[in-house]
Structure 1
């Protein structure tokens, strides 16, 4: 156990990703309907590694960090709404009369506390734990790209097993592209997981299916969504270059790999 603990402390980032994949993909080989993967895996992986490396307090503080610039709240709510409303306006055929707003409100509330859903299951891991450590090793743009690839590939079992039938393979590049948006928001909100969770929750609460799209119309909407998120990601990279040029102040200092296990202190 001492040896295992030492390995985790020496390689916390690698350990996190290995655990996220192993735990997340563990149901896949068994072919159990509706359980191709466990969405809670990044959260569990982050909690395990943070407990061993003594960084649970930092992770917890990021999850409740709400004092952030006002425009971060606007972006977290406004960007996903702009994408779904904009793509619906371009494609047409949205059925607003079929939207049950009480169900939408209930879903919005439940997604905050359900670890088997993407926001709580993924954000503390991808953004709260992994991103600051990637930022210690790479430039902000490069670390977002690395995280985008790893997070996108992590979702592959959903597509291969057919569990993500409605979304299909287009969800993989969409996950990669939108990771840049999440990383931008995380950095501009002083490392707040709470804000990335808000973005994730809004993004998944009102979706194309909510507006009655199905079949070819749904696939067209998802394609438009990929284009929209790509445009937003490029705009954030090109128009807010300072956010991608330097290592965030609260990223662990890259003074050797073992330095990454040191608790991160928010200035």
Structure 2
């Protein structure tokens, strides 16, 4: 598996294209999250009692940023080529297995650990359900996660920013840079999202998990010939399992630990390929 992107699949052809991506991405997400932050900080509890739809809509920031940057770099035709590339289904069957099999593994490990710790299996009726999406059964919850924080984020992070950076540095270091942007992008949520506010000092572990998770998702994206379909499915499955109300505590922490181990392995694989000889590609166009 080559971890270098094909020449020019997403690299900016105009100076300032990365700045356009970052500016639009943060403006869209933070602009939609700002009213939630204000409501939470001015309310009696200091957090949101209910999560409005704008919380999920804001996840489209990276995707909108990718569209804006690609258009800025090479026009509307490049946007079409970029969309076809990130959503193509022509990749090895292994990556379908990885996209669906890894969340299944997380489920088994996390829920068996919870059953051992509590002396009984978690309530199957509560699987995947969350107070952020009240009343929705888990298949619809999974669909929402896939369409929002799955596609909305990954179209930008792994669909645009990762291959752009990988034209300049190795995928290993591009993964680190994407993770750094990803961490900062979440910043406003720590002032209104109850899940994040409850972390306390655990935010350090959360940031480490995000960096290691970035290696996992970069490994999958590069392996799937730079399609983001596998990572969208993975992202949706991960969110379904860890963001569920019943997952708070043992299940979520166990799954995060498994992903961190996977991330360390993927980081080693990407680092090793960095040490091998690979042809470097110079950016020539915005998308292909």
Q: Scaled by the length of structure 1, what TM-score is found?
A: 0.78
Q: Do the aligned partners of residues 109 and 65 (structure 1) sit closer, same or farther apart at CA in structure 2, a change above 3 Å counting?
A: same
- 1:1-267 superposed matches below 5 A: 9-30=14-35, 31-33=38-40, 34=51, 38-54=58-74, 55-92=78-115, 93=118, 94-99=121-126, 103-112=137-146, 114=147, 117-165=148-196, 168=199, 169=203, 170-207=205-242, 209=244, 212-213=246-247, 218-239=248-269, 244-245=274-275, 253-254=282-283, 259=284, 262-265=285-288
* Alignment gaps of 5+ in structure 2: 1-11, 41-50, 129-135
CA distance in 2, matches of 1:160, 1:239: 36
- Aligned residues of 1:24 and 1:40 also touching (Cα < 8 A): yes
Aligned to 1:3: none
* Alignment gaps of 5+ in structure 1: 1-6
What stretches of structure 1 move > 6 A for 4+ residues in a row? 246-249
CA distance in 1, matches of 2:98, 2:208: 21
What SS is found at the alignment partner of 1:253? Answer: coil
Q: State the Cα distance separating 1:121 from its structure 2 match.
A: 1.2
Q: Scaled by the length of structure 2, what TM-score is found?
A: 0.73
Between 42-51 and 171-180, the greater mean CA deviation after superposition: 171-180
Q: State the Cα distance separating 1:40 from its structure 2 match.
A: 1.2
Root mean square deviation, CA, Å:
3.1
- Aligned residues of 1:127 and 1:183 also touching (Cα < 8 A): yes
**Number of equivalent positions:** 244
Q: State the Cα distance separating 1:83 from its structure 2 match.
A: 2.1
